[in-house]
Amino acid sequence: MAAGGRPLAYELLQRGTSYRFPDVDWIVTKDLARWMEDRARPQPVLLDARTDTEFAVSQLEGARRIDPSRPSLNALAGFPKDTPIVVYSSAGYRGALVATWLKKQGYQKVQNLGSSLYQWVNEGRPIYHGGTPVSLVHPYDGQWGWLVEREYRARVPDVRKESAAP
């Protein structure tokens, strides 16, 4: 699909995921970027709801990984239940799964990043690997990878499917 189709694809993904997860609160990429730039504001805990393989390529600065297929509260050890949390995944579905689970665990300020890491990267926003800025993101697989601009797509094997969607 041409680059012009990505905004529509993101809108459709957002609507579909919102419909599937009606209790999830959302934050858009530009609002998260502003929040992260405002160091006077308490920063959210960023939870990356992708596989180890995807996380190993890149992530948002300071993100902690949480397994979307077997979530655990280990990534939030020591944080009170009213800590602001932003969950993200490749396109938003796995993030919504984890956000829903966290709310059931009693976390009150959980948001999922709309259109998630793919849109973040396509907007030219920073991603990291071990604290070092990088420019590539794991495309998950050939079907979902087209959502990432070619210049940002890492050339890596597809992820072994553990969940229904990225």
> The CATH number of the domain where 122 resides is what?
3.40.250.10
Domain that holds residue 48: 3-72+79-152
pLDDT of residue 1: 41
pLDDT in tens, 100-136: 999 999 999 999 998 899 999 999 999 999 999 999 9
> Confidence class of residue 165 from pLDDT cuts 50, 70 and 90?
low
Question: Is 159 a member of any domain?
Answer: no
Question: Is 166 a member of any domain?
Answer: no
* pLDDT of 40 above 50: yes
Instruction: Tell me how far apart the alpha carbons of residues 3 and 149 are, in angstroms, rounded to a whole number.
Output: 7
Question: Is 163 a member of any domain?
Answer: no
Question: Is 94 a member of any domain?
Answer: yes
Q: What is the mean pLDDT of the chain?
A: 91
pLDDT of residue 163: 54
Please state the domain count of the chain: 1
For residue 120, CA distances in Å to 40, 141, 147 come to 22, 18, 11
* pLDDT of 25 above 80: yes
Question: Is 160 a member of any domain?
Answer: no
> Residue 45's CB: how many other CB atoms inside 10 A?
18
Question: Is 158 a member of any domain?
Answer: no
Q: Are strands 132-134 and 127-129 parallel, antiparallel or unpaired?
A: antiparallel
Q: Tell me the mean pLDDT in the region 127-152.
A: 94
Q: Between 7 and 42, where is the model more confident? A: 42
pLDDT of residue 135: 96
* pLDDT of 166 above 60: no
Please give the backbone phi and psi of residue 27, each rounded to the nearest 5 degrees, phi first: -130, 140
* pLDDT of 149 above 90: yes
